[in-house]
Structure 1
Amino acid sequence: MLTFFSRRPIRISLLLSLFVVIGLQALQAQVITGRIINEFREPLPYANVYVQQLKTGTVSDGEGNYEMRLDVEGEYNLVFSSLGYESKSERVMLVGDTAWVNIQLSTSSFDLEEIVVSAKDKDPAYAVIRKVIENKDRQLRSADSYRTKVYLKAVEESEVTPREEAPKVEVDLSAPDADPFAAEAAENQALLAGLNLVEMEVMLNYQYPRQYKEERTAYQAYGSTNGLFLPIFAETDFNFYRNLVYLPGIADAPVISPLSNNAILSYKYELLGTTYLDGRLVNEIKVIPRKEGNSTVKGTIWIVEDEWTIQQLALELPVGTLLFGDNFRIEQSYTVLGDSLWTVDRLAFYYQSKQGKRKTFEGSTVLRYSDYEHNYAFPDKFFGNEVAVTTSEAYERDGDYWAGTRTEELAEREAKLIHLRDSIQEVRNSPVYRDSVEQLYNKINLLELAWDGVGIQNWREESHLYVSSLASMIDFSPVGGWRVGPYVSRFKRYQSGRIWSNSGNLDYGLRNGDVQGNFSSWFRYDPFRLGSVSISGGRSFEAINQYDAYLNLLRPSNYTLLDALRVGHEIELVNGLRLTSSFSWNDRRPITGYEVGSFLEDVVTDGDEIIDFERYQAFVSTNTLSYTPGQRYMREPNRKVILGSKWPTLSLLHRRGWDKTLGSDIRFDYLEAALEQEVLLGALGNTHYRAQMGQFVNTDDLRFIDWKQFRQSDPFLYSNPLNSFQSLDTSLTTTNLHFELHFIHHFNGAIINNIPLLKKTRIKTVVGGGMLWLQDGDYRHQELFAGVERVFKVGTRRRLRVGVFGVVADANNRKPDTSFKISFDLIDVWKRDWSY
């Protein structure tokens, strides 16, 4: 009995082992293998082997060998294909043993367009990319028009790296004064302070070739939106089938698409592998810039074979061209509708910005597309200059609406943030809470009185009152030196979008014992037509040329005493056509009766005497009509946002001095025409120019203060090249015909990219120049400048562009000369662009 029970486990083990061996042999036997060659007996690397019944397959190796393991015996239909060769189908019966299937493919009857690459560029990825380029026009026109619903989620989260690992604090809940919710409250507060989020729902309308219109039907913001990226489709559609992808608000230069017509000159490609997706063969291709610079991307792109369309892509933008972030990545995926219509399914942007060594801002924007309506019949004139509109209901969507419309899942922290914001929103909007916050804000302390100034807000009236600090009450004037006095301003915003701003100052001159002051009131009465009226006036010392060189503005001889009253109005008559009018009454007097000395006498040498003239009154009107064709804009429920145009802006100005009107003693008429435009030249950069011509057509009584003035250049400092010259050695005036031209071109890295060592410095080259002609004496001044610029980070989103320029100038009354200038330009965080 003992012998029987001791042998039984051995028999079972042997039996199990036998089954395992037989099973392994069966699995090993279910293999299809072989070699793929062409008619010249050459191996075909990376050829495709597709099993129709299983909708799967494999790829041959570098020697044309392949191998597939199948789970089930049976009869299979194998399709062998390779780019440039005719496909071949083979029936295979797989029963027990390994099946050897060697295939010879014949060259296709059509020849691929020749691709010129170096000898080492033999990767099959090049042929795949070429096929996509050949078919991209078909992809661009796959749908002449469509409507689609887009859900957008934009998130920014800040993270602070501690200087050292902080010890974990254990809370003793048994203590009498212990707060069991303190840790949770601190965590919630950190979440509210460190995470910002925007959700938006858009109905996107498109019509070939590049017409977009957004209808923003839902919008909700949690926290600050300053660091979030919210794309405008009319500005850029991130379509990599196009040769260039423009990135306004992200980068100062467009990038060359890896699928552009001449992409082979900018990129190398490497086939990383292939896979089958829903029965389609997808090639995974690595994109490698031949020269890393401001116009190339790097990453991976997935291409569907035979249909030659993008399945997805993940590309990183060049760092040197970014306006704000330290890095920026684009991810895009397509889905097929019907048999062959490929449309964008998901678009995502990931970016990062660092503040110092310890604080990092991580941002992401995800767009999910759904409910496509292709070949949609839009009404006539649906597309136009209005490229986006936000409905009044968009800001009123509640939590239930968003829960039913999201097509991108919220992360845990994002869902928690929304829950916290929604839970406290009712409390924060309550009068009791807002009164308490207002009371705390309006409380005055010594620091505000001494340095910051005092602010008083009224949330019910949506107004804010500001009184200057004691420190800012001290001011300096080139005429007479120090002056002391307060400054007060009040700002009020109405729910209709109207704005009313008032300000004023009053000061006392310590040296001359005189009192001066000014006031200003401005009211935006029509937010959609940008209509506004203003009134201002007062007494002050005013420079004859208010835009002269900095040193000239410190010389008392350039000033007069002015009593003035001004009224202004501006309105957009139709989109792009703006009329600006101003009327000013002026009482002009010399400053011969004032003591003008100050400590600046040791710094600025004023060799000119104070100008003495007879006191007189001047009533002057100025009307400017400007037109920008094709001006694009966004319409919000209570305002209009101008986006710009690809066409130049033409301006016509008329200034008139009125005789005997309100006691006026002058009479003249001045006309001026100006043309200004920014031209985008793709990867070569962008050019900005301004040209203007003026002429006094009536000089019956024209005083020197109203002459046309031209600014003298500053020593060492570079001024805005669209409005001034860099090497004009003196201030000029004229009463006759004059013409001036200014231009500047930023290469945005186009030249530096070709110099291996310099491109690592992230400097960018700039050229420009100007010309001035005066009819007086046939005076001519011309100048050219060239230099380099580099952008420096001065905060999370603040960027400072510093430039060094060499200037060559010539005029018909002096010898050619050279000079060097340094420029400083701080980026506009609202417009996300530079001054020039």
Structure 2
Amino acid sequence: MRALLSCLLFLGAFGLQAQTFYKLRGYVYSEDNQPLPGANIRVYDSQTGTQANAEGQFEINLEQGLHRIGVSYIGYTSEFLEFVIEEDNVKNIFLKADTSMLNEVVVNVKKKDFSYEVVRNVIENKEKYLNQYQNYRCNTYVKSLEEPVNIKAPKPSKDDDPFKNDSIPQKNYFEANITRYAAPPNKLKEERTAVKKIGEQETLYFTSTTDGEFDLYQNLQQVKRLSENSFVSPISPLGFASYKYKLEDTFYDDGKLVYKISVKPKQTGNALYEGKIEVIDQLWVLKNVDLKLSKKSLIIYDEFAFKQAYENIDGKWVISSERFEWKLKEAGQIKTGVTTVSQSDFVFDSIYAKNFFGPELAKTTQEAYKRDSTFWDSIRPEPLSREERDVVKKQEAYDLRVNSKDYLDSIDAVYNKVTFLKVAWSGVGHVNRAKKTNWEFGSIPSLINVVAIGGWRMQYNINYLKRFENRKRIKVTPYLNYGFLNRDLRGQLTVDYLYNPVKQSSLFLNIGQGFDVINGSATISDIIKRNNFYINTGLNLGHRTELFNGFYFNTDIQVNKREDFGDFKFSRLGDELFDENDPQVFPNSTILKTNFKIDYTPKQLYISEPNEKIVLGSKFPTFSLQYKRAFQLDNELKKAFTNIEFNIAQYFNVGILGTSEYKISIGKFLDTTKVAPMDYKYQRGGDPIWFSPSMSTYQLIPQTFSTFGWVFESHYEHQFNGFLTSKIPLINKTGINTTVGAGLLYVPEQNYQYSELYAGINRVFKLGKARFRLGAYYVTSQSNQFGFDSGFKFSLEPYNRNKNTWSF
């Protein structure tokens, strides 16, 4: 038995060793020699198989002998082959298109809603497209044109800012040639080697690739330039819960089957797209995209849409062209705009220095703005249209005319002419464009202040501004005022000098005597009461600069004599406006005060322009540390007080849930030898109706009070930006958004604890070019001093276009 078993094992081993395998390799093509990526190759006798790669190539190991092989591809007639494998073999297979099969596919997929299966395949395969290269470099050409629609442009005013052209072209135009570098998932760098700007640039989109791009392979797209919302990609797992898909059409392009799928939100939402996407069968890659954004998600624009075309370059699928379209109405004018983007000359997986992708996202060279028409003609992918040529030619002719000395002198003469209307209302100016200087003198109505402290006062101020070619500037403002009731003359001189625009370095000087506030953050009902003012005489010298990226150092030194009003006379009007409106009495003193503050935002992103740095923000919080030290100067130098404060603040996106903001502060007086009321640390009381700035105040504190020991403050606010209201019928058509917030205050020295919660609704309104957010809130609070309280509040916040945030 053992001998028989040994023999069988030996024969089996010999049989295994006798098996011989050979490689069968080749390509699967259509009749017109187009590769068919993903084609199925099946070996029926061994129940094995494989798929062709992106180039249509396949390879499979087959045992020596006879085999029956089938090759299939959707939309093509399957091919069946029988042949004997005796050595490595190469076999290219050509399939014929089957139109009857394609029609059957169209019918069947519509019955089964095959679009969902297509999207599912794209989602399952998108990881390889997100990681198909380590980095790339390409040439990006951008052209943007915006123009008014059927509305006559406003006539230029001779009283416009004299440093602007006296006539602004009706059409806004931008053109740039950019070398772009990118590495997944979000590293970006661009070098702008040629730039042309005509007209206003504020509402043109994609004048820099840092404006934000729509990478649909990412689950969410955040484009701060357009919206506070993060948009849900239609090819993300969240897409199945957010969108309805429908197969609109199937067609062949270069021998590849393409599915055209419509994408619609399942319900009215403001973080969703609507439009069409095209997907290539078997590869499950995007081919074309045509989507628009919900109007409710947009802050500046009324309509916005984009198109993208993908191309296979060196086996990598990249966006080769884009088109952005928008429409907006502001200041009584409707404007439409189009930006086209062409990307070419791709180079993949280059080796760059370790810190090549850093905080500087974009840089414009000095020569970029000096390119002539010959250069532009040589780099444009397509010639300009007749309309675009007219815009450029007219602007070039206009520039030559308005920059001539004769023309500038004539404009200056008009602006500098003294007229009755200027004297009586708008004020008189005198400009010298060649020297880039401007003087401004107040008009007659600005001479009289009827609600000033101490009754009617006559006042006069002059503004002098000097600009330099490298964006440096100096502004000097002398100011005098005289009170009739007290027969007192007061005045100040202010100088503000920006000496390094790149580092935002500036010097500030203020010297003179005037009325100053004791508590600058007092409530609306208290801010103009007499007991919130004192007489301040002194000198203030300040300096601010950026030491390195994101790290700002602020210093100032003040020498001030602070006096109460003594026997100062007040008008009856002030007495009748307020109850208990007596001025505050305190010992007069002279003080030397120093202030040092640092603000640091790690990995602050920015754009470098010639002689300018444009800060874009950071995903990290801003850390601030402030140290104040003061000394008495009455008879000899004595310490007065020392204060220290530390803050952390951040504004960030929370995906489809909206945006959040928080601020945490802690501080105290380290020394309180002699602290005057204007040096106190105040906790602001709440206003009766007004919802005060949520990151620096509390809503229901009964009255303002001062603190000297440790103080802990925290604030948090979340804007849902339509995430909740977009799901409620009828409400989702109103544009109303929701918000929630909380705050906590703890003052150990007074055993004081206060906390609050609030929820509210708000809506964005337009007023000319400005955007405002009107809100209504319900606030509830609890304190160990006064128990529970609650009430309604209202707010009105402007939108800051420079920071893309709602802030004052």
Indicate the SS of the match to 2:234.
coil
User: Hey, what's the Cα distance between the residues in 2 that align with 1:495 and 1:192?
Assistant: 21
Query: Which segment drifts farther, 518-527 or 635-644?
Result: 518-527
Q: Which residue of 1 aligns with 2:341?
A: 367
Q: Which residue of 2 aligns with 1:13?
A: none
> CA separation of 1:534/1:191 partners in 2, compared to 1, >3 Å: closer, same or farther?
closer
Q: Does structure 2 conserve the Cα–Cα contact (< 8 Å) formed by 1:548 and 1:731?
A: yes
Q: Which residue of 1 aligns with 2:321?
A: 346
User: Hey, what's the Cα distance between the residues in 2 that align with 1:662 and 1:789?
Assistant: 56
Match of residue 567, structure 2, among 593, 597, 610: 593
> CA separation of 1:716/1:289 partners in 2, compared to 1, >3 Å: closer, same or farther?
same
Q: Does structure 1 conserve the Cα–Cα contact (< 8 Å) formed by 2:110 and 2:247?
A: no
1:403 corresponds to 2:386: no
Match of residue 31, structure 2, among 44, 52, 69: 52
Indicate the SS of the match to 1:713.
coil
1:27-65 residue CA offsets vs partner (Å, 9 max, x unmatched): xxxxxxxxxxxxxxxxxxxxxxx96349799xxxxxxxx
Query: Which segment drifts farther, 376-385 or 683-692?
Result: 376-385
Which runs of structure 2 are paired with 1:509-548 in the superposition (5 Å)?
509-548=483-522
- One-letter code aligned to 1:308: W
Q: Which residue of 2 aligns with 1:334?
A: 310
Q: Does structure 2 conserve the Cα–Cα contact (< 8 Å) formed by 1:498 and 1:525?
A: yes
CA drift at 1:146: 0.9
1:155 corresponds to 2:145: yes
CA drift at 1:380: 2.7
Which runs of structure 2 are paired with 1:11-22 in the superposition (5 Å)?
none
User: Hey, what's the Cα distance between the residues in 2 that align with 1:511 and 1:330?
Assistant: 65
User: Hey, what's the Cα distance between the residues in 1 that align with 2:339 and 2:326?
Assistant: 9
1:466-512 residue CA offsets vs partner (Å, 9 max, x unmatched): 11221222225552233221121112221122121121211112322
Q: Which residue of 2 aligns with 1:808?
A: 780
Q: Which residue of 2 aligns with 1:458?
A: 432
CA drift at 1:232: 4.2
1:625 corresponds to 2:619: no
Indicate the SS of the match to 1:239.
coil
Q: Does structure 1 conserve the Cα–Cα contact (< 8 Å) formed by 2:575 and 2:581?
A: no
Indicate the SS of the match to 1:298.
strand
Indicate the SS of the match to 2:672.
strand
Q: Which residue of 2 aligns with 1:799?
A: 771
Indicate the SS of the match to 1:669.
strand
Indicate the SS of the match to 1:485.
strand
Q: Which residue of 2 aligns with 1:475?
A: 449
Q: Does structure 2 conserve the Cα–Cα contact (< 8 Å) formed by 1:492 and 1:499?
A: yes
Q: Which residue of 2 aligns with 1:820?
A: 792
> CA separation of 1:160/1:521 partners in 2, compared to 1, >3 Å: closer, same or farther?
same
Identity of aligned residues (%): 30
- One-letter code aligned to 1:150: T
Q: Which residue of 2 aligns with 1:25?
A: none
Indicate the SS of the match to 1:629.
coil
Q: Does structure 2 conserve the Cα–Cα contact (< 8 Å) formed by 1:478 and 1:596?
A: no
User: Hey, what's the Cα distance between the residues in 1 that align with 2:329 and 2:338?
Assistant: 15
1:501-560 residue CA offsets vs partner (Å, 9 max, x unmatched): 121211112322211222211111122222111111221111110121121012112211
Q: Which residue of 2 aligns with 1:201?
A: 177
CA drift at 1:209: 2.4
Q: Does structure 1 conserve the Cα–Cα contact (< 8 Å) formed by 2:205 and 2:211?
A: no
1:376-431 residue CA offsets vs partner (Å, 9 max, x unmatched): 22223111011111100101111111111112442321111101111232222221
1:647 corresponds to 2:620: yes
User: Hey, what's the Cα distance between the residues in 2 that align with 1:478 and 1:486?
Assistant: 14
Q: Which residue of 1 aligns with 2:530?
A: 556
Q: Which residue of 1 aligns with 2:117?
A: 127
Q: Does structure 1 conserve the Cα–Cα contact (< 8 Å) formed by 2:115 and 2:245?
A: yes
Q: Does structure 2 conserve the Cα–Cα contact (< 8 Å) formed by 1:87 and 1:105?
A: no
CA drift at 1:811: 1.6
User: Hey, what's the Cα distance between the residues in 2 that align with 1:563 and 1:102?
Assistant: 91
User: Hey, what's the Cα distance between the residues in 1 that align with 2:599 and 2:497?
Assistant: 21
Q: Which residue of 2 aligns with 1:16?
A: none
> CA separation of 1:377/1:243 partners in 2, compared to 1, >3 Å: closer, same or farther?
same
- One-letter code aligned to 2:805: D
Q: Which residue of 2 aligns with 1:381?
A: 355
Query: Which segment drifts farther, 152-161 or 563-572?
Result: 152-161
> CA separation of 1:827/1:104 partners in 2, compared to 1, >3 Å: closer, same or farther?
closer
User: Hey, what's the Cα distance between the residues in 2 that align with 1:155 and 1:408?
Assistant: 15
CA RMSD of aligned residues (A): 2.8
CA drift at 1:769: 2.1
Match of residue 774, structure 1, among 741, 747, 751: 747
CA drift at 1:753: 1.6
Q: Does structure 2 conserve the Cα–Cα contact (< 8 Å) formed by 1:198 and 1:221?
A: yes
Which runs of structure 2 are paired with 1:662-811 in the superposition (5 Å)?
667-795=640-768, 797-811=769-783
> CA separation of 1:121/1:435 partners in 2, compared to 1, >3 Å: closer, same or farther?
farther
Q: TM-score, normalised by structure 1?
A: 0.82
Q: Which residue of 2 aligns with 1:211?
A: 187
1:149-177 residue CA offsets vs partner (Å, 9 max, x unmatched): 111112110123589xxxxxxxxxxxxxx
Query: Which segment drifts farther, 239-248 or 556-565?
Result: 556-565
- One-letter code aligned to 1:734: T
1:578-632 residue CA offsets vs partner (Å, 9 max, x unmatched): 1100111110111121122342433322x25422222210111010012111111
Match of residue 222, structure 2, among 246, 259, 264: 246
Q: Which residue of 2 aligns with 1:36?
A: none
Which runs of structure 2 are paired with 1:81-160 in the superposition (5 Å)?
81-82=73-74, 88-89=78-79, 122-160=112-150
User: Hey, what's the Cα distance between the residues in 1 that align with 2:541 and 2:417?
Assistant: 36
Gaps of 5+ in 1: 1-49, 58-77, 92-98, 107-118, 164-188
- One-letter code aligned to 1:799: R
Q: Which residue of 1 aligns with 2:62?
A: none
User: Hey, what's the Cα distance between the residues in 1 that align with 2:365 and 2:322?
Assistant: 24
Q: TM-score, normalised by structure 2?
A: 0.84
1:288 corresponds to 2:264: yes
Q: Which residue of 2 aligns with 1:19?
A: none
Gaps of 5+ in 2: 1-28, 37-69, 82-97, 154-164
User: Hey, what's the Cα distance between the residues in 1 that align with 2:479 and 2:614?
Assistant: 32
- One-letter code aligned to 1:817: D
Indicate the SS of the match to 1:472.
helix
Indicate the SS of the match to 1:131.
helix
User: Hey, what's the Cα distance between the residues in 2 that align with 1:104 and 1:744?
Assistant: 55
CA drift at 1:703: 2.5
- One-letter code aligned to 1:624: K
User: Hey, what's the Cα distance between the residues in 2 that align with 1:103 and 1:671?
Assistant: 75
Number of aligned residue pairs: give it.
Answer: 717
User: Hey, what's the Cα distance between the residues in 1 that align with 2:490 and 2:266?
Assistant: 65
CA drift at 1:741: 0.9
- One-letter code aligned to 1:741: S
CA drift at 1:140: 1.2
1:224 corresponds to 2:188: no
Q: Does structure 2 conserve the Cα–Cα contact (< 8 Å) formed by 1:442 and 1:457?
A: yes
CA drift at 1:791: 0.4
CA drift at 1:227: 2.0
1:603 corresponds to 2:582: no
User: Hey, what's the Cα distance between the residues in 2 that align with 1:102 and 1:828?
Assistant: 57
Q: Does structure 1 conserve the Cα–Cα contact (< 8 Å) formed by 2:228 and 2:653?
A: no
Query: Which segment drifts farther, 578-587 or 770-779?
Result: 770-779
- One-letter code aligned to 2:180: L
User: Hey, what's the Cα distance between the residues in 2 that align with 1:103 and 1:610?
Assistant: 89
Match of residue 408, structure 2, among 430, 434, 439: 434
User: Hey, what's the Cα distance between the residues in 2 that align with 1:406 and 1:103?
Assistant: 40
Q: Does structure 2 conserve the Cα–Cα contact (< 8 Å) formed by 1:557 and 1:608?
A: yes
Q: Does structure 2 conserve the Cα–Cα contact (< 8 Å) formed by 1:159 and 1:194?
A: no
Q: Does structure 1 conserve the Cα–Cα contact (< 8 Å) formed by 2:212 and 2:225?
A: no
User: Hey, what's the Cα distance between the residues in 1 that align with 2:177 and 2:306?
Assistant: 20
Q: Does structure 2 conserve the Cα–Cα contact (< 8 Å) formed by 1:504 and 1:520?
A: yes
Query: Which segment drifts farther, 658-667 or 618-627?
Result: 658-667
1:302-352 residue CA offsets vs partner (Å, 9 max, x unmatched): 1111111111111111111101111100111112224x3221111111110
Q: Does structure 1 conserve the Cα–Cα contact (< 8 Å) formed by 2:377 and 2:383?
A: no
